[in-house]
Structure 1
Amino acid sequence: MTPSGQQWYVVQTHPHAEGKAVVHLRRQGFEVYLPRYAKRRRHARRVEVMASPLFPRYLFVAIDLIHQRWRVIRSTVGVANLVCSGDEPAPIAGDVISRLKRREDSKGCVQLDLAPRFSAGDVVRVVDGAFSDCLGLFESMNDDERVLVLLDLLGRKVRVTMSMDTIEAA
């Protein structure tokens, strides 16, 4: 529950229009929260880190259903719909927003758990780089999102360190 009887609700936006919806909802006086995370994007052999929506096409808005004209949210630029249960907006659990905000870093990005997607011995395929399309065995992951993979090259097992985003399940 936020101050003055407001509760948090979920708004669905049009594709790639989260930022536009935030601007227009704030202009109408609503408190809005768009959680973001640091996304690594590979393009033209460069890796960029950019803030991307944690829940693409969704954001949160605090509404006092009694005192605010909440129905205008549906016709706001960038908004596709307000998630409802019947005719009324469906509130989310009160601590969801506070738990997300507690996980934010100094740049406002939610810190995600970096648990490895693979366990030791899983067969993986390299999808980028010099060893593209090679199969290997996942060994482990170190602290800075680098993984150790055993590749079979020229009849020998070779341990290679690479970025986590360059492998996928085979």
Structure 2
Amino acid sequence: MQWYCAYTKPDGELWARSNLWERGFEVYLPLYQKRRRHARRTSWVEAPLFPHYLFLRADFAGQSARAVAFAPGIVNLVRFGEHPAVVRDSVIAEIRAREGADGLIDLDNGKGAASRFQAGDRVLIEEGALCAQVGLFQTRVDAERVFILLNLLGRDVRAIVNARSLRAADR
């Protein structure tokens, strides 16, 4: 049995995963947490690491590739020429190695969101009470919280914020 990659319909990864699973295939859909903003609210949702793609393990000597290609939610298998492209086991293992205890891919590789910034970097706060404020990154408090220096009402104020609510500010 080997791993293959399937191309799915737009936003159809979860639907395709369940359909292939019901047909007896081992399916792997790597997910990560993505920030979603809607109506001035920010929430975290699970999203596919590779939009429109999922991985499945199959033995096309015993199972027909047509069973995959015509499964609901699937557009087709990724191919090189006429044959479905094989994904090495080591690639799947490398992706799975980045999963956290919650089963989601850790894009920070275990370092935490705060590791993206260096002392003195200009950062923009994107959510919370200090939303839209620009400050200077100072240091990490822990893996998820950081100290930033803000200029509020003409005074420098040190604040602790969630590192996930920050992004690099334009210069």
Q: TM-score range by the shorter chain?
A: 0.7 to 0.9
Residues 153, 55 of structure 1: CA spacing in aligned structure 2 closer, same or farther, 3 A cutoff? same
Greater Cα offset, 50-59 or 86-95: 50-59
TM-score normalized with structure 1 length: 0.80
Is 1:22 equivalent to 2:17 in the alignment?
yes
Residues 9, 41 of structure 1: CA spacing in aligned structure 2 closer, same or farther, 3 A cutoff? same
2:78 aligns with: 83
Report deviation, 1:32.
0.9
Is 1:33 equivalent to 2:32 in the alignment?
no
Unaligned stretches of 5+ residues in structure 2: none
1:71 maps to which of 59, 66, 70: 66
Q: Structure 2 matches for 1:77-116, cutoff 5 A?
A: 77-112=72-107, 113=109, 114=112, 116=115
Greater Cα offset, 28-37 or 16-25: 28-37
1:148 aligns with: 147
Cα RMSD of the aligned pairs, angstroms, is 2.6
Q: Deviations for 1:32-83, whole angstroms, at most 9, x for unmatched residues?
A: 1122235566778987665433323221011223222013322211112311
TM-score normalized with structure 2 length: 0.79
Structure 1 outlier segments of 4+, above 6 Å: 42-47
Residues 76, 37 of structure 1: CA spacing in aligned structure 2 closer, same or farther, 3 A cutoff? same
Residues 130, 50 of structure 1: CA spacing in aligned structure 2 closer, same or farther, 3 A cutoff? closer
What is the number of equivalent residue pairs in this alignment? 165
1:12 aligns with: 7
Once residues 25 and 79 of structure 2 are traced to their aligned partners in structure 1, the CA distance between those partners, rounded to angstroms, is 17
Residues 164, 80 of structure 1: CA spacing in aligned structure 2 closer, same or farther, 3 A cutoff? farther
Percent identical pairs in the alignment equals 44
Once residues 108 and 135 of structure 1 are traced to their aligned partners in structure 2, the CA distance between those partners, rounded to angstroms, is 33
Q: Deviations for 1:72-109, whole angstroms, at most 9, x for unmatched residues?
A: 32221111231111111111222122233344444433
Unaligned stretches of 5+ residues in structure 1: 1-5
Where 2:167 maps in the other structure, the secondary structure is: strand
Q: Structure 2 matches for 1:42-81, cutoff 5 A?
A: 50-81=45-76
